[in-house]
Structures are given as C-alpha cells and as structure tokens.
C-alpha cells in the first residue's frame, strides 16, 4: 500500500469482531509494548485499521481534520505496530506499539502527562523534544 | 458520599482541563498501576468522576444502562483509584487502578484478551473466574 491508496475492507474475521460507532470509528489505545506505558488514545476507522495492518505503521483517523492521520507523518514520531488487540465488546482496540521518540504533540513521551493530586493537576513528565522542532516553526 | 448521592460538580481546575464530548462523556482507560496491564476502557461523565474522586473507588457511566456504574457493584471486582491522569487535549482519562480479581465480565483479567495474528483473532488470556460466579446464575 503506497501513497493515498486506501481500502475500507477488513479481513472478515476482524470485521465480524468489531463494533464501530455510528461514525464508523473505534477508540484505539496505544501502549508501548515493552514498558507498558500508555502513550495516547485516538480513533480509527476501517481504512485506518486496514492501512495499519498492511504497513505495520500505525495510522489513525483524525476527527478534526477528517482524514487519515499517519502518526508521525509530520513529526517523524512514528509508531510501529507490535500487536493489535480487540476488547470483549469489540468496540475498543489496544495497539501495542514501538513508539519512536515521543507520542505527544507537546514533546512529551505520553499524552497522559497530567495527574490530579490534592486539588490540582501536576505535570508528571518533562518535554523531551521541542514541539517547534517536531512540527517546524510554522506550527 | 453514600448511596445514590451524586454531584455533577468537579473541582474547578479539573473541570477547566477536561473536554467532554457532546454527550457529556470522556473515555477512561483503566491500567493496573503496578504491572502496567491495560484492563479496559469505559466512559465517565462528571458525576462518575466526582464519585470516583470522593470515594477512591472507580465509578463509570454505563451508556447502555444510562446510569452510574460502580465497577464491581455486582461482581465484587472493584477498582481502587491510584492515580487519575488527563491527556494533552483533556478528552481522555487514564485511570491507574488496583484491580480486584478480573476486570472483564468474561472472567478474564483484561478486556483486551483477543489478539490479531495471521488472519485470525487468538485468545491470549484464560478465564480466571467463571462468569456465572461473578454475576450469579441469573446472568
């Protein structure tokens, strides 16, 4: 699969196991396969899942941009798929991945870098990469 | 907080950090705090979050039953909250929990017990507790 070729077709056994929502999406949790760190949550449609399985590189569906979002396409912070897991109801995916660099657009390793303690949100991770370097100075 | 007392009020700093969807919900990923295992994904509204913070026991919002779902209320398989994390966009929560027994209604430790390999879904976890014992023979 190259360029903009996409397909909405999933293998029949996978299609049968999945319960997409009324927008044709399922939430997908990305976890670093060896450390167990939860990196992010994003959404996938059939085309994103099909591309991810075909290429081994994780592709989501961007709800805000309404297009396929090949994770790391601008920042280089790609995710290689190690394992795709389906939950009991088929309405959530767990992607065990190997994350290059940082998962979060803020330059932190994980998007879950804020923790609620004693009435305030504390930041629990530092910025590892300057976002300006990830995305260029044009934002 | 006891019985059916509920509040939709969140601490102001938490409310300001969260972006609920148009149903007033955010997805919440539950992770075993020490092993790193991802256990399940469910949904929370303001009342579920408020109760979870007040009691230390995780409470979700059941979309199918349209009511608060105190995890383990029937099965006894409760989740104690260890840490509540908020993602960069404020639209997903990561709950680090201490899971009693099994998280999945099928009697498996995690809901993500199916893994896609070589064109089929393999079960990667065994049933640890008979669901009939979790929920009684009336289902």
Structure confidence by residue, pLDDT tens digits, B107-116: 999 999 999 9
Q: Average pLDDT in the A75-85 region?
A: 97
Res B1: pLDDT = 47
Please write down the HEC assignment for all residues of A89-118.
CCCCEEEEEEECCCCCCCCCCCCCCEEEEC
| Total-model pTM | 0.94
Percent of chain A with pLDDT over 70: 94
Asked whether residue B137 carries a pLDDT value surpassing 90, the answer given is no
For residue B5, pLDDT beyond 80: no
If phi > 0 it is left, if psi is from -120 to 50 it is alpha, else beta; for residue B62 that is beta
Categorize the per-residue pLDDT at A137 as very low, low, confident or very high, splitting at 50, 70 and 90.
Answer: low
The nearest CA of chain B is from the CA of A3 a distance in Å of 24
- Rounded to the nearest integer, the mean pLDDT of chain A is 93
A37 contacts on B by Cβ (under 8 Å): 36
B92 contacts on A by Cβ (under 8 Å)? 41, 111-112
- pLDDT confidence of residue A1: 47
Q: Tell me, what's the pLDDT at B8?
A: 86
- For A90-121, letters b (16+ CB in 10 Å) and e give bbbbbbbbebeebbbbbbbbbbbbbbbeeeeb
Contact between B88 and A104 using a beta-carbon 8 Å cutoff: yes
H or E, element range at A13: helix A12-17
Q: Is A16 helix (H, G, I), strand (E, B) or coil?
A: helix
Asked whether residue A139 carries a pLDDT value surpassing 50, the answer given is no
Angstroms from A95 CA to nearest CA on chain B: 10
B92–A124: do the CB atoms touch at under 8 Å? no
Residue in chain B nearest A17 by alpha carbon: B121
For the segment B11-66, what is each residue's pLDDT rounded down to a tens digit?
999 999 999 999 999 999 999 999 999 999 999 999 999 999 999 999 999 999 99
Average pLDDT for A2-27: 88
A120-131 confidence digits (pLDDT tens): 999 999 999 999
């Amino acid at each position: 699969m190259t360029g903009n070729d996409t397909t909405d077709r999933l293998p029949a056994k996978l299609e049968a196991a999945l319960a997409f929502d009324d927008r044709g999406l399922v939430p997908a949790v990305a976890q670093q396969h060896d450390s167990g760190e939860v990196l992010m949550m994003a959404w996938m449609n059939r085309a994103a899942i099909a591309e991810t399985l075909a290429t081994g590189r994780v592709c989501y569906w961007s709800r805000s941009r309404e297009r396929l979002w090949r994770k790391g396409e601008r920042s280089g912070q790609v995710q290689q798929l190690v394992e795709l897991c389906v939950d009991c109801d088929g309405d959530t995916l767990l992607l065990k991945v190997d994350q290059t660099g940082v998962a979060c657009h803020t330059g932190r390793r994980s998007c879950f870098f804020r923790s609620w303690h004693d009435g305030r949100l504390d930041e629990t991770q530092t910025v590892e990469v300057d976002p300006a370097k990830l995305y260029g100075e044009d934002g």
